Amino acid sequence: MQSQYNAQAKYDKQERPSISSPRERLMTDSDSESEINLDEVAAPPPVYDRPDEDHLENQLSHQAGREEEEEVIEQESQQDQNGYATTVGTEEDEKQQGRGLRSTSMRMPYVIAYLIFSSFLGTLLRMVIESLTFYPGAPVNTSVLWANVGGCFIMGFLSEDQGLFRFKEVDVQVEHEDDGQRRARLTAHKKTIPLYIGLTTGFCGSLTSFSTFIRDLFLALSNGLSVPMGPYSDVSLFAAAQDVPKAPNGGFSFMAIIAALLLEVGLSTFSIKLGAHTAVFLSPWTPRLPQWWLERIVNPCMIPLATLSWIALICLVALLPRHASDPTLWSAEIWRGPVLFALVFSPVGCLARFFLSLKLNGRVAAFPLGTFAANISGTAVLGMAYCLQHSSISAASLGGGSVVGCQVLQGIMDGFCGCLTTVSTWALELIDLRPRHAYVYGIMSVVVAFCLLVVEIGSLKWTRGLETPICFSASTGQ
């Protein structure tokens, strides 16, 4: 009897391979519902050429129809098992799903804390890079280019890396799997780790800014890009824009837009690839982060650290000097206001982008709706803040109303809008989508955002004109 059963099992294994293959494909694409929806990017690593089923829209479609596919798989498995085994397996699946949901709810406070603290670091580093790369003789005058390049490089590295977050529990699960299944399971697993979400969605998303990139496109169109002139000590981003020679006609402005667009998009996507290749090159020497250190020390400490940091920044803003006594461009009273206000508003934008992507990115498989909504809404808010900062209440006043009001508007643009919009996620999605879907998604994002700024800022600039913001004029001694 035992030999007959073994022969029948061997025959079923040879003649009916489709019973187990759907489950294997499902586990290859994603590990559990909690592992799918924690990160704003559900994309495979960007290095290797992938078959059609590994593209982003196919993975999102697979997630949307996950329940129906699980039902089909369950029905197929029931045909090959007795009733008792099927009942036990179903109960185990339900228990596993319940544990996954509880684990997700327990991780969410850590995720939020990492996003808050990482948004501080990303915003501060972005403003530092913008200031350091703004100097006389700079080959590129778009302010946010190098911050976007750096953020995309880190995003590509983290997306491709298979060593930093490879914990022992994952090694046990992938021990007998092939390379493709192992990479897919590791990628799905690390997207549930709060530190990884904080580094990608929080730090990289805040270091890069889609709204500032679109603002630079509009300034290139209107011949308003700031060109640093004079000694380096007299050059600052927090200063009134200097008069520059105007382009002879609109054709030169068109060339400026094309140059800025190609530089931003081309270097951003190139940096994603370069970061991924760097991760592959360094994989033999990449250390593994200790799991116990993250779960028992870093994660619990991150919640009070992020909360107290945010409270401290709000207190610093409340104690901020209202007037600048030192007229030099690099004095602390000139840059402290915009930077502190930007840091105060940055967690709001980062969290809004995270939850938008969490809820909307899976709605349309070929069009990441969450990232699109975050980038467009953040660009619209930046346009409104820019208009308020560069418009005067009366003919005798400067733009922005008061010094504090001007600094708040600058903080909204650099902090809230800069963190609500992202280039690193956008560029990674462009790489992972099919070419025709990527072109539609990329062109729609740029065109809609650019048209919003043309309507908002252009209507003010080409009618009444843009005034010098009062918080910038203070730096020139006016």
Q: Which string of DSSP letters, residue by residue, matches 17-30?
A: GGGTHHHHHHHHH-
What is the pLDDT averaged over residues 300-328? 81
Residue 390 φ/ψ, nearest 5 degrees: -105, 15
Contacts of 193 (CB under 8 A, 6+ apart): 165, 294
Task: Give me the pLDDT at residue 77, please.
Answer: 44
Report the C-alpha gap between 2 and 17 in whole angstroms: 22
Mean pLDDT of all residues in 273-301: 92
Q: Reply yes or no on whether the pLDDT at 57 is more than 80.
A: no
The per-residue pLDDT for 201 is 95
Can you tell me the mean pLDDT for 2-17?
A: 46
Structure confidence at residue 186 (pLDDT): 79
What one-character-per-residue DSSP string does 158-212 give? HHH--STT--HHHHHHTTTS-HHHHHHHHHHHHTT-HHHHIIIIIIIHHHS-HHH
Tell me which of 263 and 183 has the higher pLDDT.
Answer: 263
What is the tens place of the pLDDT at every residue in 74-87? 444 444 444 434 34
In sequence order, the 6+-apart residues with CB closer than 8 A to the CB of 146 are 129, 130, 133, 140
Overall average pLDDT of the 363-378 stretch:
94
Task: Tell me the pLDDT tens digit for each residue of 408-454.
Answer: 999 999 999 999 999 999 999 999 999 999 999 999 999 999 999 99
Token duo for residue 436: 């025709």
Measured over the CA atoms of residue 154, residue 160, residue 163 and residue 165, the dihedral's sign is: positive
Predicted pLDDT at 26: 36
pTM of the predicted model as reported, rounded to 2 decimal places: 0.78
8 Å CB contact between 326 and 474: no
Q: Nearest 5°: phi and psi at 141?
A: -105, 0
- The answer to whether residue 229 scores a pLDDT higher than 60 is yes
Coil/strand/helix, residue 120: helix
451: tokens are 């048209």
399 pairs with which residues across the strands? 392, 469
Average of per-residue pLDDT across 394-418: 80
Question: What are 329's two structure tokens?
Answer: 């461009």
**How would residue 12 be classed by pLDDT, with cut points 50, 70 and 90?**
very low
Tell whether the model's pLDDT for residue 5 goes beyond 80. no
The torsion angles phi and psi of 329, rounded to 5 degrees, stand at -70, -30
Q: How confident is the model at residue 45 (pLDDT cuts 50, 70, 90)?
A: low
Residues written for the chain:
478
Q: pLDDT grade, residue 318 (50/70/90)?
A: confident
Among 44-53, 376-385, 402-411, name the most confident range.
376-385
For residue 159, give the amino acid letter.
S
Above 70 in pLDDT, residue 468? yes
Question: Percent of the chain beyond pLDDT 90?
Answer: 44
62: number of Cβ within 10 Å: 18
Distance CA 384, CA 464 (A): 15
Roughly what angle, to the nearest 10 degrees, separates helices 403-411 and 332-360? 40
pLDDT at 377 exceeding the cut of 70: yes
Mean pLDDT of 7-16: 46
Q: How far is CA 79 from each of CA 16, 72, 75, 84, 346, rounded to the nearest angstrom?
A: 11, 11, 7, 12, 54
What is each CA distance from 411 to 163, 198, 385, 402, in whole angstroms? Answer: 37, 22, 10, 14
One DSSP character per residue, 104-129 reads: HHHHHHHHHHHHHHHHHHHHHHHHHH
Specify the range with the lowest mean pLDDT, choosing from 159-163, 226-230, 361-365, 412-416.
226-230
* Residues pairing with 469 in the sheet: 399
Buried b (16+ CB within 10 A) or exposed e, 313-351: beeebeeeeeebeeeebbeebbbbbbbbbbbbbbbbbbb
Please name every residue paired with 392 in a beta bridge, in sequence order, or none if there are none: 399
> pLDDT at residue 278 above 80?
yes
**Is 311 or 66 the better-scoring residue by pLDDT?**
311
Higher pLDDT, 324 or 179: 179
Task: Output the six-digit token pair for 49.
Answer: 């050429």
Our CA angle for 329, 330, 333, nearest 5°, is 90
**CA dist., res. 420 & res. 399, Å (int):** 25
pLDDT digits (tens, 9 = 90+) for 101-144: 445 667 899 999 999 999 999 999 999 999 888 888 788 888 89
Does residue 362 register a pLDDT over 50?
yes
**Averaged pLDDT score across all residues of the chain:** 77
